[in-house]
Amino acid sequence: MSERIAYHLNVLGLLAISIVLLFAFADQFYGGELPCPLCILQRAGFVVVGTGLALNVLFGSAARHYGVMIVGAVVGGAAALRQVALHVVPGTGSYGAPFLGLHFYSWAFILFVLVCLGSGLMLLLTRPAGKGAVGGLTRLGIAVLGLFALMALGNGVSTLAECGFGLCPDNPTGYIGLDALLK
C-alpha cells in the first residue's frame, strides 16, 4: 500500500475517533449522562488511539505509532469489557441509555477490537515512511488534527471538572472538581 493511501486511511481513522469522542461529549452535555470511571478510561483509550493516528498523519506511518494505537485499544478495550461484564448479569442494570441496541461500552469494545485489527492490517500492508508525511499535510488532515486536539483537550478538562484531582465517583451525579473550584 502506498504511503499516500495510508495517510488518507489514518486521516479517516482519526476523524472516526474524533467523532466517537464528540458523540460521547454530546451524550454527556445534551443527554445529561456523566461518564463513570470506566467510561473515562475508555475515552482515554480512544485518545491514545487517536494520538497514534495523529502521529501517523504528522510524521508518516510507523510501526511504533501503530503500537501506540494497539496499546490504547487494549487498555480501552479492557475497561469496556470490564463494564460489559459488570452489566451482563440479568438484574444488575446498565449504565447509560442504549444506542442502536447496544450500550456505549459495548460499542467501545467493538471499536477497540476493530482498531487492533485495523492496526495489524496496516502494519502488514504499509511500508515504513521516510522522514515526515509524504506530500505534506492536506487541509483535511490539518482540520481533523485540530478536531482531535480539541476533543482530547475537552476530555481532559471534562474529567477534571467531574472528578477534580481525586478519585471519580462510581456513579457520578455532578461536577465535583468544578463545584470545588467555584466555592
The mean per-residue pLDDT over the stretch 85-109 comes to: 77
Per-residue model confidence as pLDDT tens digits over 117-173: 999 999 998 876 555 455 678 899 999 999 999 999 999 998 888 888 878 877 777
Note the pLDDT of residue 69: 97
Report the alpha-carbon distance of residue 148 to residue 133 in Å, rounded.
18
* CA dist., res. 109 & res. 46, Å (int): 11
For 7-46, the pLDDT digits (tens) are: 999 999 999 999 999 998 888 888 778 888 899 999 999 9
- The residue-averaged pLDDT of 55-69 equals 93
**Residue 174 corresponds to which cell in the numbers above?**
455532578
Q: What is the 8-class DSSP label of residue 98?
A: -
pLDDT band (50, 70, 90) for residue 95: low
- Residue 93: the pLDDT is 65
- The structure's pTM equals 0.88
- Report residue 116 CA to chain centroid gap: 13
Q: How far is CA 98 from the centre of its chain?
A: 19
Number of H helices, E strands in the chain: 6, 0
